[in-house]
Amino acid sequence: MGDERKITSPTVVFRTLSPLLVEDENKSPIAPDDKNYEKHINYLANTILYEYRGTGLSRPLAMQPIRFKKMVIKESNRQFVEKYGEQQHLYFTTYHGLFKMSGDPADLQLIYQLGLSKRRNQGFGMLEVEEVKE
């Protein structure tokens, strides 16, 4: 466990410790270069913060990918095997790397602490502060 950074600036560069899983309404993966990626990131962040503290984002987030790499995760679980058989697997198209995010510092702090992704309870979306921009 490392020391947790305190975010006091409205702009931060994050590095993913585990890949980000971002999907649209149809459960299709969204790539960072998609024009709707920021909209879906804002939806995820708003939902995560609302569930945690009872209020969503203070203001919308702006996200700028710096360097992302695609990663496909192959997974299975007991319920999925019982329903579809042992030869079937779940596949998740995820991305990991560096990105710059701007928003309210309190929101960014919670996103850093809670993670930003679908399936966070399975380890997706863990972040590390790479740089705090002043």
- The domain total for the chain is 1
Residue 2, domain member (yes or no): no
How far is Cα 128 from Cα 57, in angstroms, rounded to an integer?
A: 20
| 87 domain-assigned | no
- 129 in any annotated domain: yes
pTM score: 0.86
Residues 6 or more apart whose Cβ sits within 8 Å of residue 49: 55, 56, 57, 107, 110, 111, 114
Per-residue pLDDT of the chain (134 residues; tens, 9 = 90+): 567 889 999 999 999 999 999 999 999 999 999 999 999 999 999 999 999 999 999 999 999 999 999 999 988 777 777 777 777 888 899 999 999 999 999 999 999 999 999 999 888 999 999 988 76
Q: Is residue 76 part of a domain?
A: no
**CATH number of the domain encompassing residue 17:** 3.30.70.1900
Residue at 52 is within a domain: yes
Tokens for 2? 């490392």
> Which structural domain, as residue segments, surrounds residue 105?
11-69+97-133
Q: Is residue 81 part of a domain?
A: no
- 23: in domain: yes
Answer yes or no: is 107 within a domain. yes
